[in-house]
Amino acid sequence: MSENPATPATDEAGRTKADDAPEADGLEAGAQAPAAPASPAPQEAPRLGATAASAAVPRRGGPMFPDGTGPAADPAGSHHERRIRSFQPRRSRVSPSQADALRRLWPKWGRDIDGLSRIDLAEFFDGRPVVLEIGFGMGEATAQMAAADPDTGILACDVHTPGQGNLLGLAERNGLSNIRVANGDAIILLREMLAPGSLAGLRVFFPDPWPKKRHHKRRLIQPEFVSLASTRLAPGALVHCATDWEPYAEQMLEVLSAEPTLENLHPSYAPRPDFRPLTRFEGQGLDKGHVVHDLMFRRRP
């Protein structure tokens, strides 16, 4: 996830603390994909039934959106496999303004990742080419990139309810009609709900590094994930990753370079592009002396 504001503890390096994460398969819905193999990863995802409306569960109990007008707490949990996931539970306190944005804007600009129906991206984004962004924190950088490129749609995927509300509010206040928010597990989104070759790009900025060796299996950028994601990319689509965790940057470079359908646009890491905004999370890492690495690959024809 691109920033992790809902994870309360940090490790000795100031990053997300994963020591207490369960080793058993995760049960909650999330905005990230598993480090374990996704099975299967077909070229075609099945078209199934209609989206089921369900209520979001706030931190202190009781449905947050009892009428189904907001994001669900676990949109695909009852009918998809249990597996190790790369995210922590991210339900936290939602401000009144965020809750208001979710109630008003979710029916138009939001989508639960339930795995039961294919998303028609052309219809959802009024014919724009679409970039999938996995993990967006509170959404400030996503909103800036959307404003700078209004002709490109951004499908922003995460499970952080306050961030979802904040991003929708930013989109409304700034007149950004090219943002849509997806709530749930990115693996299910890619595998079940997006057509092959339908994406113009993929962005993964500052995903959780899971720094402890026993948790590396939870990292998002794994061969199985990259192989699946590549099937959903159109020829020439850009894959852009960024991290300030050196060992994870090395893993990203190795995994992306090994995917035969992708080519690196640079000999190794990419120079920091001007179009990627500097986030508060990135600034905090730079203040700690972390080195940020960008990686830019392109889907081969």
- 20 is an active site residue: no
- pLDDT tens string for the chain (301 positions)? 444 433 333 343 444 333 333 333 332 333 344 444 444 444 443 333 333 333 333 445 555 776 667 888 878 775 666 666 655 655 568 999 999 999 999 999 999 999 999 999 999 999 999 999 999 999 999 999 999 999 999 999 999 999 999 999 999 999 999 999 999 999 999 999 999 999 999 999 999 999 999 999 999 999 999 999 999 999 999 999 999 999 999 999 999 999 999 999 999 999 999 999 998 878 888 999 999 999 999 999 9
d(CA 282, CA 301): 33
Question: 30, exposed or middle or buried, with CB in 10 Å at 0-12, 13-18, 19+?
Answer: buried
Per-residue pLDDT tens digits for 232-250: 999 999 999 999 999 999 9
- Per-domain residue ranges of the chain: 96-299
Token pair recorded at residue 74: 């676990």
100 C-beta neighbours (distance < 10 Å), count: 14
Which pLDDT value is given to residue 253?
Answer: 98
Binding-site sequence positions for S-adenosyl-L-methionine: 133, 158, 185, 208
Where helices occur in the chain by DSSP H, the ranges are: 96-109, 121-124, 140-148, 161-173, 186-188, 223-231, 246-258, 280-287
Angle at 168 between CA 165 and CA 172, to 5 degrees: 135
Q: Enter the pTM of the model.
A: 0.78
Q: What is the separation, in whole angstroms, between the first and last Cα of the chain?
A: 29
Q: Please tell me which residue in 20, 208, 287, 294 is annotated as part of the active site.
A: 208
What is the DSSP-derived secondary structure letter of residue 227? Answer: H
Residue 74: predicted pLDDT: 77
**What is the model's pLDDT at position 66?**
62
pLDDT for 231: 98
Q: Which parts are annotated binding residues for substrate?
A: 212, 244, 279-282
> Binding site: what residues are annotated?
133, 158, 185, 208, 212, 244, 279-282
Judge contact between 179 and 110, C-beta under 8 A.
no
pLDDT at 273: 96
3-state secondary structure of 19: coil
Q: What is the pLDDT of residue 29?
A: 34
What pLDDT was estimated at residue 82? Answer: 63
CATH 3.10.20.30 fits 96-299, yes or no: no
